[in-house]
Structure 1
Amino acid sequence: MYSSQSEGKGNKGSVQFKNTKGRLQIVFSYPVQENGEIKRKRFYISTGYEDTPRNRQRVGDTVRTLQRDIDYGEVDLSLAKYQPYAALSTVSPIPLVPPNPPAKSQPTLNELWERYMEFKQPQVSPSTFCKDYTKQRNHIRRFPSQSLDDAIAIRDYLLGNLTPDAAKRCISQLKACCDWAVEDGIIETNPFSSMRIKAPKGLTEDEDVNPFSKEERDRVIQLFESDRYYKHYAHYVRFLFFTGARPSEVIGLQWKHITESVIRFRQAVVVSEGGLVLKEGLKTQRKRDFPITPEVEAILEEIKPAKIDPEAFVFRSPRGKFIDQHNFANRPWQAIMAKSGIPYRKSYQCRHTFISLCVEAHINSTAIERWTGTSAKMIDKHYGATNFTNLRPPDLT
């Protein structure tokens, strides 16, 4: 039976969802005539599903059909039209009241992320903002949907298009964004809060230790020194090998940081949204001093200009700009490694080589920590293991 109500379109209410003990119900109110009197009754339709964003999507066609029928005064009060999932569970009369105001529109995920980026930008370094937040924005723009109601579909898209580790990081960022939005009253609930993605634990750049031998190190340096195209980088590579400093710290080094006895690492060049920028402080500490050894002194003497400008940078690109470590790793470094006949390693292994050779020489791990900024615990855990092949038990007799 269809309602015979003849009122025009509008003012008849809207369809809503209700969570009843974890189960999803569709709720709506509708004016009906009883004993010559118009009353508004509330109807409850059990869907048979748990209340999840995905199941709300699943019954979307039913909800849209029902809303259309409400708007045009054509609701099937038997609810048969809204089967197979619908079943009338409760009908209760309520006083006829004006319709609820329209629900507050929900921002799209892309809009939400832009607002979150504005909030986070003053709180993080330029490199973190570029690497984490800008990259996440690019992921979000490629999502199949920008609606928070499609969180499950977004998760499935990430798992299908990214590595498990990248998908996990992306979901973690979405959780943090939506937590912030809930706290600020922008949205009511966080649809990503209960999502979990298990990813195989990989090694970070600081943990992936595969050092060069002394012979391999010297071979790489010699090839840079003799290369027609990339010899400009020879001193830079030597400096990486003989200080164990991070590339970002070396690129940020100015002549004012060089004293007679130590190199004062105080800043680093990092990637930002606008390109390479200089920032104060280092990756894991505010500052660090490195004693000038004969090898390092020789490198500095060879590149020291006749007249030193304290503000000038010690190592520059061939065009006099910041060395772009990403470009260096993809072009000069790969070209030299291909010529070397040595099993390929990333340029970050220059740092690992220095630390490993110090461990091999029985230098105290606390001293190495002071020189390189890597904790003694990390050194004992990741670098001592590289020398197990040469280790022999002592004579215990």
Structure 2
Amino acid sequence: MHSPETPKTPSGKASKGTVKVIASHDRLQLRFRYGGERHYLSVGLPDTPTGRMVAQQRASQIQLDILSGNFDTTLAKYKTAPAEPVKIKLTAPSIPELWEKFCEVKEPVVAPGTWRNGYCVNTSHLGRCPHKQLKDAQKIFDWAMTHLNPDPAKRFIQALSSCCRWAKRNDLIDQNPFEGLSGDIKIPKTSDDRTDIDPFSRAERQAIISGFENNQYYAYYTPLVRFLFCTGCRPSEAAGLQWKHITTDDIIFDQAVVDSVRGRVLKDGLKTQLKRKFPINKQLRQLLTAHRPSQAKRSDLVFPSSEGQFMNFHNFRNRGWSAVLEELGIRYRKPYQARHTFITHCLEEGISVSQVAKWVGNSPEIIMKHYAGTLARFQVPEI
């Protein structure tokens, strides 16, 4: 780049007070003579159009001071101190801010039930917790331990740890203050209808089916109760079954009804697999043939509620199921035990663990682990 024209004397030499803008190693300098000496003054800017404009302004100031006799021989007046770097104190985001961003990422990819029973529940916990900053992690832990039961407290701390782990990966925070905290929360062993194996006997099973058949209020649910005992499917899978899933020889389980923030919705896929096929035997074929309405469409639910909507198993369990068992004098167990009853009776009939696991959508290892007590009751055969 070329410096601006500077005034010349008739002899061709720069006139008194002329200040030239020059470039040296791509940095701008001012060159001029004063008091018989040549001076070089760094502008501190690169050789760019903007830099040239600033340098020329400073050159004009020096030139004017020389001509008017106000030149600063120390040059301090013409030196611009480098700007001090602006120190920005970064404020750590609050936990609710991080949690909101985390939930925005997770909502589109998690199952509706997980969103409702996990993320929404933990959002509620966080809203009630008075501590909101990362530095308050221990206070949040203490609050959870004193205001929540052990299981939801552990899930809450685990959720916050997952959130902060995500935030750290995305350079939103420097460290995860919740890392490892959930390990300090011990969960007492409680009854879980998914793993607490307490099956009905064959006599109890038949009595329950007959009890629904003969009940003036709940006879409507008899086909559903039979189906649960005959297939060992999960209640959510029965609720999501449509007639298009029933073929001549098989039932295709590939969706389930789950609770979401928008109510009960149909979700593709099952709890432990994408789909599974269950063979229809004579007993099951008779049940489905008798139960199917003559005008049923392929998209119709096989087991709708009495209002034609998705089955609400919470209401079914607390009303119909509970009432029938109480009337029969049978010790109360949840409808999920129909699944355990089917599995247990299959094993008692000598059907292989791998085959039973395939029918109900579990691994053989899970069947062995949870039904070991049932298998232990088998007598060793005499060889």
Scaled by the length of structure 1, the TM-score of the pair is 0.71
2:308 corresponds to which letter in structure 1?
A: G
Partner of 1:302: 290
What percentage of aligned pairs have identical amino acids? 43
For the residues of structure 2 that align with 1:240 and 1:384, how far apart are their CA atoms?
22
Partner of 1:251: 239
1:162 Cα shift? 2.2
1:320 corresponds to which letter in structure 2?
A: G
Matched, 1:270 2:277: no
Scaled by the length of structure 2, the TM-score of the pair is 0.73
1:227 Cα shift? 2.0
Judge conservation of contact 2:193–2:334 (CA < 8 Å) in 1. no
Partner of 1:395: 382
Partner of 2:368: 380
Question: Helix, strand or coil: the match of 1:228?
Answer: coil
Partner of 2:176: 190
Q: Deviations over 1:177-203 (max 9, x none)?
A: 011111222222221114132323556
Q: Which moved more, 1:271-280 or 1:107-116?
A: 107-116
Matched, 1:330 2:318: yes
Matched, 1:314 2:302: yes
For the residues of structure 2 that align with 1:335 and 1:116, how far apart are their CA atoms?
44
For the residues of structure 2 that align with 1:161 and 1:283, how far apart are their CA atoms?
31
1:384 Cα shift? 3.9
Partner of 1:346: 334
1:317 corresponds to which letter in structure 2?
A: S
For the residues of structure 1 that align with 2:321 and 2:132, how far apart are their CA atoms?
41
For the residues of structure 2 that align with 1:167 and 1:295, how far apart are their CA atoms?
46
Choose which of 109, 119, 126 in structure 1 pairs with 2:112.
Answer: 126
1:272 Cα shift? 1.6
Question: Helix, strand or coil: the match of 1:177?
Answer: helix
Task: Indicate how the Cα distance of structure 1 residues 153 and 240 shifts in structure 2: closer, same or farther if over 3 A, else same.
Answer: same
Q: Deviations over 1:94-137 (max 9, x none)?
A: xxx97974533333322321211111112221222222111111
For the residues of structure 2 that align with 1:314 and 1:194, how far apart are their CA atoms?
46
Partner of 1:59: none
For the residues of structure 1 that align with 2:143 and 2:280, how far apart are their CA atoms?
52
Q: Which moved more, 1:315-324 or 1:164-173?
A: 164-173
1:332 Cα shift? 2.1
Partner of 1:154: 140
Question: Helix, strand or coil: the match of 2:173?
Answer: coil
1:392 corresponds to which letter in structure 2?
A: Q
Q: Which moved more, 1:331-340 or 1:123-132?
A: 331-340
For the residues of structure 2 that align with 1:105 and 1:160, how far apart are their CA atoms?
29
2:278 corresponds to which letter in structure 1?
A: F
Task: Indicate how the Cα distance of structure 1 residues 393 and 365 shifts in structure 2: closer, same or farther if over 3 A, else same.
Answer: closer
Matched, 1:237 2:196: no
Task: Indicate how the Cα distance of structure 1 residues 305 and 189 shifts in structure 2: closer, same or farther if over 3 A, else same.
Answer: same
For the residues of structure 1 that align with 2:344 and 2:208, how far apart are their CA atoms?
17
For the residues of structure 2 that align with 1:392 and 1:250, how far apart are their CA atoms?
34
Matched, 1:368 2:356: yes
Q: Deviations over 1:26-71 (max 9, x none)?
A: xxxxxxxxxxxxxxxxxxxxxxxxxxxxxxxxxxxxxxxxxxxxxx
Specify every segment of 5 or more residues in structure 1 that has no aligned partner in the other structure, as ranges.
Answer: 1-96
Partner of 1:280: 268
Q: How many residues align?
A: 299
For the residues of structure 2 that align with 1:103 and 1:291, how far apart are their CA atoms?
66
For the residues of structure 2 that align with 1:165 and 1:182, how far apart are their CA atoms?
26
For the residues of structure 2 that align with 1:101 and 1:234, how far apart are their CA atoms?
73
2:187 corresponds to which letter in structure 1?
A: A
Matched, 1:111 2:111: no
Q: Deviations over 1:201-225 (max 9, x none)?
A: 5565432211110111112222222
1:160 Cα shift? 1.5
Specify every segment of 5 or more residues in structure 2 that has no aligned partner in the other structure, as ranges.
Answer: 1-82
Report matched runs for 1:167-206 at 5 Å.
167-195=153-181, 196-197=183-184, 198-200=186-188, 205-206=193-194
Give 1 or 2 for the bigger CA radius of gyration. Answer: 2
2:263 corresponds to which letter in structure 1?
A: G
Partner of 2:56: none
Task: Indicate how the Cα distance of structure 1 residues 311 and 351 shifts in structure 2: closer, same or farther if over 3 A, else same.
Answer: same
CA-atom RMSD in angstroms: 2.1
Choose which of 190, 203, 215 in structure 2 pairs with 1:215.
Answer: 203
Question: Helix, strand or coil: the match of 1:331?
Answer: helix
1:110 corresponds to which letter in structure 2?
A: P
1:169 Cα shift? 1.6
For the residues of structure 2 that align with 1:209 and 1:159, how far apart are their CA atoms?
30
1:358 Cα shift? 0.1
Q: Deviations over 1:133-177 (max 9, x none)?
A: 111111111112222222111111111122222222211111000
Question: Helix, strand or coil: the match of 1:153?
Answer: helix
Judge conservation of contact 1:359–1:384 (CA < 8 Å) in 2. no
Judge conservation of contact 1:356–1:384 (CA < 8 Å) in 2. no
Matched, 1:227 2:250: no
For the residues of structure 2 that align with 1:302 and 1:387, how far apart are their CA atoms?
35
